[in-house]
Amino acid sequence: MLQLAAGGFRDTTRVASGIEDVWTDICLTNVEQISAALDAFQFELSRFRRAIEQRDRDQLGDVLKQARQAREGLPAKSKGILGSVFDLVVHVVDRPNVIHEVTGIIGRANINIIDIEILKVREGEGGTLRLGFEKYESMVEAGRLLEQAGYRLRRQKP
């Protein structure tokens, strides 16, 4: 299968590099939603397969046309289909509890982090966390609090 992968494959499979326990908990907390999405996905894959196996040019054309229309309907200038996310990149040292400390500072101010990603880690040197916020003001306030606590960071420009 990996021989079929093109350049975007690494980005679209980023979740697979996550910690199994975290994703196990996420899956078990969202059983109904994930099952419904898998049913819909399986239905569409079966439809695609039938069109190919039956060499049904019209049906295959319909499947591909719907895929193109869905792709064209995605927002072009935002990150994903969920709208804007305002990013804050925080430089952290390599020590226990550092992620807990960063998120705790933000959480105590009742600021919601809608996305989090560990960007780069070098053992003994630390790394960077990307924190996503729904509102620009939340990102600015979180940055102010983290700088006040001594963290180095980089903000996304609006």
Q: What is the dihedral of CA 73, 23, 14, 93, to 10 degrees?
A: 130
- For the chain, domains (ranges, CATH) are 14-72 (no CATH), 86-155 (3.30.2130.10)
Task: Name the residue among 137, 132, 118, 105 with its Cα closest to residue 17.
Answer: 118
pLDDT reported for residue 2: 61
One-letter identity of residue 153? L
Neighbours of 129 (CB within 10 A): 23
pLDDT of residue 158: 53
Contact 143, 88 (CB under 8 A): yes
In the structure, what pLDDT confidence band is assigned to residue 23 with cuts at 50, 70 and 90? Answer: confident
Kindly state the tokens that stand for 126.
Answer: 């630390």
Residue 30: is its pLDDT beyond 70? Answer: yes
113: left (phi over 0), alpha (psi -120 to 50) or beta: beta
Question: Average per-residue pLDDT in the chain?
Answer: 84
Per-residue pLDDT band at 47 (split at 50, 70, 90)? very high
Half-sphere exposure of 82 (CA within 13 A, CB side): 8
Residue 65 has pLDDT above 80, yes or no: yes
Residue 151 CB: number of other CB atoms within 10 A? 19
Predicted confidence (pLDDT) per residue in 3-21, tens digit: 666 556 666 677 777 788 8
Please determine, for residue 39, whether its predicted confidence score (pLDDT) is greater than 70.
yes
Q: How many C-alpha atoms does 76 have within 13 Å on its Cβ side? A: 1
The pLDDT of residue 70 is 81
What is the average pLDDT across 48-70?
Answer: 92
Q: What is the mean predicted confidence (pLDDT) over 74-99? A: 75
* E strand residue ranges, the chain: 86-92, 115-122, 126-133, 152-155
* 83: number of Cβ within 10 Å: 9
